[in-house]
Amino acid sequence: MKKIDMNYANYKVYGKKSQSSNKNLLSDLLNEIAEAINFNMLYLREDFSEAKGYLIDEEDIELLAEMAEKAKSSGGKRIRCKDFSLAYADTVSFFIDAFLTLAKHNGITGDELFKIKYRMLSKTDFVTMINEINTKTEVFSEDLERHYFLPTDFEPDEDDQMTSSDKYVFLNLLQENIGADKKAVRGIYITFKEDRQNKENQKMVDFLHSMNPDDKLEYLEKVKHQALFEHKLQQDEEYAETLSEFARIECGGGKLQERKQIIPLAKKLANIMDRNADGYMSTEEYAYGEPDFKKPRPVDDTIMEDLDESRNLLDKSIQFYASMRAYRKNHPFTEDDETMLEYFYRMRFDENMF
């Protein structure tokens, strides 16, 4: 296939450059969408190098034109605002598939292509997977909206501590078992969630036990300073107002033009945090100054390892749930014989586990 650069692609899509600047309209729009859904545009460059130009198949001109048009649609504008609501799941799916196609045509294959997809799925809150499940059945819709992967808008004060890889493997389980019994899926989820929380808690215990007494005291002192610092921040009205506005825009609640406020708001937050850190945290415990807002370069990741860990944890949770269900067939539930897992299930779903 003949390869073209972004300037030629921009000309074929728009027929001209911007009248107000020398910027490449197509490149700007693609980069904006890519940043929103976590696609690294280096995958479309020669040798994946920032120092080299884009390499695009000439046959992908139509796809680029469709991406540019979709980006200007109402759904595209919401995606550019990082609004990954279910209402825009089809638009998210389009952009994920489009970027994957472009990356594939630039030589990306195998695990690397999967990892690119996974990063986009994770950044967009796995909305396309949830939408696919909801399209096939409404059985799990309420749980996916309210009861799984806390915190949610309905339960903002609880944290299931589920990792991105946990969410992916659980949603993949639903996709592959779309006709599964709702109650069984709930039981597997609550077991999986408890196993994850126990694993994270054990990591902290092991970490503390691995430290010598002096290091442990120093660490606990830092934790105390951090708690005092965060308490002071919570009492700062300017911080609360600024953080609320930043979160509203960054989490997809703002309009497209409001995206320009993100960096100024982030800098303002940094200044407020600097101010509140005085007297509560040492220089070693807190980094003063504005954060670096440059786009990060690709780094090695642990995606495949994380997914393997989550799959193993889910498999163990499924086996344990099955053993509990078998136990309850011979030992019917009574109030005096309720396990902690059954109690957590009842608190979450307002029904008995078995």
Q: Is 45 helix (H, G, I), strand (E, B) or coil?
A: strand
pLDDT band at 290 (very low <50, low <70, confident <90, very high): low
Spatial CA neighbour of 32 closest among 75, 74, 82, 69: 82
pLDDT band at 17 (very low <50, low <70, confident <90, very high): low
Predicted TM-score (pTM) of the model is 0.84
Has residue 242 got a pLDDT over 90?
Answer: no
C-alpha 123/C-alpha 36 separation (Å) is 8
Least confident of 68-77, 146-155, 200-209, 276-285: 276-285
Spatial CA neighbour of 225 closest among 268, 282, 181: 282
| Per-residue pLDDT reduced to its tens digit, 155-171 | 888 999 999 999 999 99
What lies within 8 Å, CB to CB, of 124 at 6+ separation is 37, 38, 84, 92, 96
